[in-house]
């Protein structure tokens, strides 16, 4: 399976509807569809999806900023949940707070369709060289 196919499969699993914005200044906005199959009791979206949406937005912001030759590797991630996410459209947005040569700090949040903040996150990302990451992945699969 190629990296591109894996990315497409991951996006589909997360319910990506569209990438709204990828700004070279280090910003991204993505729209997701929260499905009922993503919910636990009471029709509340499981927190892993919320985390994944914001994490993906931060990765898109990093790629917009640094180019497609990097793979943003999450070193640390903190999420605070303010209100339950429910089935329907949600917007994940992220931006760079501090850029280093290889280590960057990002923030992000998840909004419901009405603009209410559901969760916020901060993350430390390492910008890894895509060719090296893909080579290591292929080697690991081959050694299997």
What are residue 34's DSSP bridge partners?
88
Helix then strand then coil, in percent of the chain rounded to 5, is 35, 45, 15
pTM of the full structure: 0.91
pLDDT in tens, the chain (144 residues): 455 556 688 899 999 999 999 999 999 999 999 999 999 989 999 999 999 999 999 999 999 999 999 999 999 999 999 999 999 999 999 999 999 999 999 999 999 999 999 999 999 999 999 999 989 988 888 997
Q: How many domains does the chain have?
A: 1
Are the CB atoms for 121 and 109 separated by under 8 Å?
yes
Angle between helices 3-14 and 47-66 (to 10 degrees): 140
Alpha carbon 130 to chain centroid, angstroms: 17
CATH number at residue 10: 3.10.129.10
Range of the domain at 65: 3-143
In the structure encoding, which two tokens stand for residue 131, read together?
A: 């060719």
């Amino acid at each position: 399976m190629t990296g591109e196919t894996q990315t497409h499969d991951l996006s589909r699993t997360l319910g990506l509807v569209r990438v709204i914005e990828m700004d070279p200044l280090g910003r991204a906005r993505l729209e997701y569809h929260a499905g009922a199959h993503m919910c636990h009791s009471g029709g509340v979206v499981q927190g892993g999806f919320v985390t994944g949406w914001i994490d993906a937005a931060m990765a898109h912001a990093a790629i917009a900023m640094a180019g497609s030759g990097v793979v943003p590797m999450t070193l640390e991630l903190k999420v605070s949940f303010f209100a339950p996410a429910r089935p329907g459209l949600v917007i994940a947005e992220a931006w760079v707070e501090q850029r280093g040569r290889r280590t960057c700090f990002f923030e992000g949040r998840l909004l419901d369709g009405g603009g209410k903040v559901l969760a916020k996150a901060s993350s430390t990302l390492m910008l890894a060289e895509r060719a090296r990451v893909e080579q290591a992945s292929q080697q690991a699969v081959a050694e299997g």
